[in-house]
Structure 1
Amino acid sequence: MQVKTVKLNFILNLTRMFLGMAFIVITTPYIARILGPKSLGKVEYVNSMVTYFMLFTALGIPSYGIREVAKYRDNSKELSKLVLELLTILFITTTIGYIVLFIFLYSYKSLYELKDIILVMSINIICNNIGIEWFYQGIENQLYITKRFILIRILTLIAMFIFIKNKEDYLIYAFILVMMQSGSNILNFINLRKYINFKGIQFSNLKLNKHMKPILIIFSATVATTIYLQLDSIMIGNVSKEAVGIYIVPNKLIRMILVVVTALGTVLLPKITNCLKNKDYDNYNSYMNISLNYIFFIALPLAVSTFLLSEDIINIMAGSQFIASVLTLKILSPILFMIGIAYFLGFQLLYPLGLEKYYTYSVILAAIANFIFNYLMIPKYLQNGAAFGTLIAEAIGPLIMLFFARKYLKEIEFFSKKRLKYFIASIIMGISVYGIKLLNLKNLETLVISVFIGAITYIIILFFMKEEIVLNCFNIIMKKIKK
């Protein structure tokens, strides 16, 4: 089975992320204007509800599946057996999920009034679970995932502009959302026969129980994360509905930027797991150092830039009416680095080693800390109190993981002094950005010039400090120029 290079997989992963962002930017204004808040609100409400059913019926298999597929991708028989076992579990949970959904639907009048939308959008539950995205990530077929992603996004983009013309088209919008979210999953399932052969596998030989404990451990962490990500808005809303809107904008911006911080980790997880399975510790240490270097390289300057340019970012993205969001964004900006480290420790160190329970402990304790600080600070400081609670929680998580992972950190040079160069370069870059801020230019001009000058300053400093990523990129460019 061909394994794509890390560079290609990383580029393909980033491509999907940026295209996904672009799709949202293009479609949201059109859909919001055509459907209006009432019709759009119905669909988004149902979409949120169905998303929770998707979360619970999938258990922890989306994360667990990547690791296990990466282990057995070179053994066709074991791989086929693994996939059938996980699909069987998903069939059981999906059936239970639909039973619960229909009980809710016919028990609550408010839900029954939305029956048509719920029936359409519930297709996502089964399509999400048969889509086995985790399988393609585990075998590192990022090219197929990207081709399919682009095809579905183009088709749904065209469909939105052709078929959605007035407020009554909300059911069509719901169906298009289903096709956008699940169309690729149907293609995944059809394409599976190229890799998997279920012939000769008897159901009596399937071992479902061995998967349940790690799946449920991972699922617990997922639920804890989901709850505390939603908890902020709920607790703020109990005090002030307006403060929720002020908090949501910077929180969404931070979460969007985080996609870039964790992009390489998503690509490297199958490789790291496969190296451990084959006891290839040289490549394992190499991949771990590459991933950690990338997180320092990208997360630190992003955190510094977001802090310094928060006013310009908020004014451009949300307008002057959200000026109160500026301080909130400043408070949240350090979590770009904190979550990057937590992602590395949890999903790339503990998880491939089969120590996912420690990651789960860390997330649950961070969620408890988040609730306590929210409870104490939101009544007085509203959105800024919630942001501070999030900051504390995101600091506690990686600290706990550091404790559990301490004996593995020396082998991968986690505390190497060479990573001080990222802090030095980020500080110098921050000084250059602050100097541009003193010019009092317009928001867009400040942002564009700061990003340009800041990036150049950061890269030049790292180049003279002989940082690996910058030197590798420089060598690649020079080779292409010579050719």
Structure 2
Amino acid sequence: MAEQKPKIRSVKYNVLMNMILTTSSFIFPLITVPYVSRVIGPDGMGAISWVQTFVSYFSLVAVLGINAYGIREVARVRNDQEKLSAVTQELMTILVVSTAITYAVFLLTTFTIPKAREDEPLMLIFGASIWLTSCGINWFYQGIEQYGYITARNLVFKALGLVLMFAFVHQSSDYRTYAVILIIGSAGSNLFNLIKLHEYVHFNRHRKLNIRRHFKPMFSFTVSSISSGMYGQLDMLFLGFLGTNNAMGLYQLVAKIRNIAGSAVNSVGSVMLPRLSYYESQEDGHDRTSRLVAKNLNFLFIAGLLFIAGIVICADPIILILGGQQYLGARLALIISSLTILFSPINTILSQYMIARGQEKLYAIINTIGLVGGVMLCLSLIPTFGIAGAALSSIGIEIITLVLRGFFVRSFLREITRHLDFGRIFIAFALSSLIGFATAHAVHGINVFGQFIICALAIGVPYLALLLLFRESFICSILKPIIAKIVAKVRRK
């Protein structure tokens, strides 16, 4: 069967698909987290979270930075069938070898490190994700911008995981069963990536592969991917070594809430790398790059500040809804950690710009500095402040890397300043936050669901209204076409 040429959709379509996927990342945890948090408890959830974090470091090493490098290389040759097939076959060959070596090291550490040996079956269960993640080739489908397929596939397996969870997880001793279900829901769909791959590329064992050509450019991606992935989870890793399972159980809820909100804020930015890489490969693409990045940064500030206000004002209701009374000890850590919801997505979009511009070496250096700084922060803050120290460490890491990235792309940031509306956004945020705090004080003591809904509306509605009143560019660009269509329909009637 002849391979089909990938149909490239618009950025708006890709963003829509990613926002649907992000919305599912809200809905499914809202169903699963309250249930498993209460059934399995802080100790069981703490054990699962630490093993997940530990295993994820091996997954980072196994993929060798191909998640980012592969997106860029696939995006550059997506219109040439033979080059696309060759690049994919070469990168997959590298992945199989690197994953086999990494998995062997993982097995060795599992049976030798005392902390890992505390629950060997759990370690081996999550060890399967090393293969599923590495050989899942998500980078290929992102490179050819098949976000419709990515979204549909993820929704199906998330729904499957939800059904399995309610069917088989009923008591605290079922935490290993829950671990298996987590693997199925998060990485099981990667098997279908391999099955579907033949629709776009063809593998030829007689094809002369030039694997060596990838080693030099991949080096920076490998260093940056491993270091950024490591510093992104250093708080969880060191808390596991320096704290207790109960502390990990409290903090994993903080991390889940932070990640859910962060994914929502980053729903636009996470689809930008293929398009930025494509624009930067064109002679006249830089102006389009500038406008795209500026528009995304406006969205990040709007959404990031909204979520920060919501979490700070509604911290208690959020924890009580998602975890229950036994997780209220995580309140301060949640409030502190909320700042990463803004900093992390900004780091992501600046990183994607650097990658698209071919500045992966500088990107790697910044991530390595962030990793070293993160280790120092964790070692100094976690023993003294516990889970609050872990939250402070996560913020410190993001600030260090954000300042460095901002410095090295400062000329580009000056260039896009005229497209940014940060002043209007911050004023709207400050005013709506005051309304939210006053409302939270007024409704304190009522049902937690009622508190959350009322306070969320008290923050969100004034925020959107003020942005419209101030004529913020991103909001206006979204609403103007909708209003125009409504007006046109009214006139036709």
Q: Same fold (TM over 0.5)?
A: yes
Deviation per CA, 1:276-323: give whole Å up to 9, x if none.
Answer: 112323322222222112112211222233233334433443344444
CA distance in 1, matches of 2:179, 2:441: 48
2:464 to 441, 444, 459: 459
Shift in CA distance, 166/230, structure 1 to aligned 2, threshold 3 Å: closer
8 A contact 1:362–1:398 mirrored in 2: no
Q: Which residue of 1 aligns with 2:3?
A: none
Question: Shift of the alpha carbon at 1:128?
Answer: 2.9
How do residues 244-255 of structure 1 correspond to structure 2 at under 5 angstroms? 244-255=248-259
2:224 to 221, 225, 230: 221
Q: Which residue of 1 aligns with 2:235?
A: 232
Q: Which consecutive unaligned segments of at least 5 residues does structure 1 have?
A: none
Question: Shift of the alpha carbon at 1:439?
Answer: 1.1
Letter matched to residue 388 of structure 2:
N
- Partner of 2:442, secondary structure, is coil
1:130 to 120, 127, 135: 135
1:144 to 141, 149, 154: 149
Letter matched to residue 383 of structure 1:
I
1:357 to 358, 361, 369: 361
How do residues 280-359 of structure 1 correspond to structure 2 at under 5 angstroms? 280-347=285-352, 349-359=353-363
CA distance in 2, matches of 1:338, 1:109: 35
- Partner of 1:421, secondary structure, is helix
Q: Which residue of 1 aligns with 2:202?
A: 197
Q: Which residue of 2 aligns with 1:80?
A: 85
Letter matched to residue 319 of structure 2:
I
How do residues 57-456 of structure 1 correspond to structure 2 at under 5 angstroms? 57-103=62-108, 122-162=127-167, 176-199=181-204, 202-203=207-208, 206-233=209-236, 235-236=238-239, 241=244, 243-279=247-283, 280-347=285-352, 349-411=353-415, 413-414=416-417, 418-441=421-444, 442=446, 443-456=448-461
Letter matched to residue 273 of structure 1:
S
Letter matched to residue 15 of structure 1:
I
Shift in CA distance, 395/120, structure 1 to aligned 2, threshold 3 Å: closer
Over the matched positions of the two proteins, sequence identity in percent amounts to 28
Shift in CA distance, 150/327, structure 1 to aligned 2, threshold 3 Å: closer
8 A contact 1:409–1:415 mirrored in 2: no
Deviation per CA, 1:108-151: give whole Å up to 9, x if none.
Answer: 89989978776665544333333211111111111111222223
Q: Which consecutive unaligned segments of at least 5 residues does structure 2 have?
A: 1-5
CA distance in 2, matches of 1:366, 1:124: 26
Letter matched to residue 344 of structure 2:
I
CA distance in 2, matches of 1:444, 1:167: 26
Shift in CA distance, 113/248, structure 1 to aligned 2, threshold 3 Å: closer
Shift in CA distance, 304/134, structure 1 to aligned 2, threshold 3 Å: same
CA distance in 1, matches of 2:176, 2:249: 27
- Partner of 2:201, secondary structure, is coil
Letter matched to residue 325 of structure 1:
A
Aligned residue-pair number: 479
Deviation per CA, 1:452-474: give whole Å up to 9, x if none.
Answer: 13222111111122122222332
CA distance in 2, matches of 1:47, 1:240: 16
8 A contact 1:79–1:196 mirrored in 2: yes
CA distance in 1, matches of 2:254, 2:68: 27
Question: Shift of the alpha carbon at 1:83?
Answer: 0.7
CA distance in 2, matches of 1:391, 1:41: 21
Shift in CA distance, 111/388, structure 1 to aligned 2, threshold 3 Å: closer
CA distance in 2, matches of 1:255, 1:178: 18
8 A contact 1:315–1:323 mirrored in 2: yes
8 A contact 2:14–2:271 mirrored in 1: yes
8 A contact 1:81–1:201 mirrored in 2: no
Letter matched to residue 452 of structure 1:
L
Shift in CA distance, 94/308, structure 1 to aligned 2, threshold 3 Å: same
Higher mean alpha-carbon deviation, 335-344 vs 232-241, is at 232-241
CA distance in 1, matches of 2:392, 2:172: 40
Letter matched to residue 71 of structure 1:
R
Q: Which residue of 2 aligns with 1:13?
A: 18
8 A contact 1:64–1:218 mirrored in 2: yes
- Partner of 1:263, secondary structure, is coil
- Partner of 1:454, secondary structure, is helix
Q: Does 1 or 2 have the higher relative contact order (CA < 8 Å, sep 6+)? A: 2
CA distance in 2, matches of 1:40, 1:233: 12
8 A contact 2:433–2:459 mirrored in 1: yes
Letter matched to residue 306 of structure 1:
I
CA distance in 2, matches of 1:23, 1:60: 29
8 A contact 1:332–1:387 mirrored in 2: yes
Superposition RMSD on alpha carbons, in Å? Answer: 3.4
Shift in CA distance, 416/171, structure 1 to aligned 2, threshold 3 Å: closer
Shift in CA distance, 193/313, structure 1 to aligned 2, threshold 3 Å: same
Question: Shift of the alpha carbon at 1:253?
Answer: 1.8
CA distance in 2, matches of 1:93, 1:438: 55
